[in-house]
Amino acid sequence: VGLIAVALVSLASLYGLYRLINARCFALTGPAICRVQTEQPLVALTLDDGPTEQGVAAVLPVLDAYGARATFFMVGNEARVRPHLVAQVAAAGHEIGNHS
């Protein structure tokens, strides 16, 4: 009976882990917004950037050329070292998120 119980708990745990890994919308730290109804088709752009000189210099002109806005997820330590890049991204009208 003990072995069967262990097997059932193991299978249930594995199934739960499988479902969690394949979840399209999940967050451990709070509610996740996975879908927003809009009148027109929209895409949310998110970028993982250090920030680095090369990344900002390459991406900002392209976004500006298309009138697009994005959320830049930056590493805290990198943003602290390069506050001028954080300010440049924010001044261009983009959101800043913490990737740390």
- Span 31-55, pLDDT tens digits: 878 888 899 988 889 998 789 999 9
Q: CA-to-CA distance for 63 and 93, rounded, in angstroms?
A: 10
The answer to whether 78 touches 54, Cβ cutoff 8 Å, is: no
Task: Tell me: pLDDT of 1 over 80.
Answer: no
Partners of 98 in beta bridges: 74
The answer to whether 88 touches 60, Cβ cutoff 8 Å, is: yes
Model pTM above 0.95: no
Residue 80 pLDDT: 95
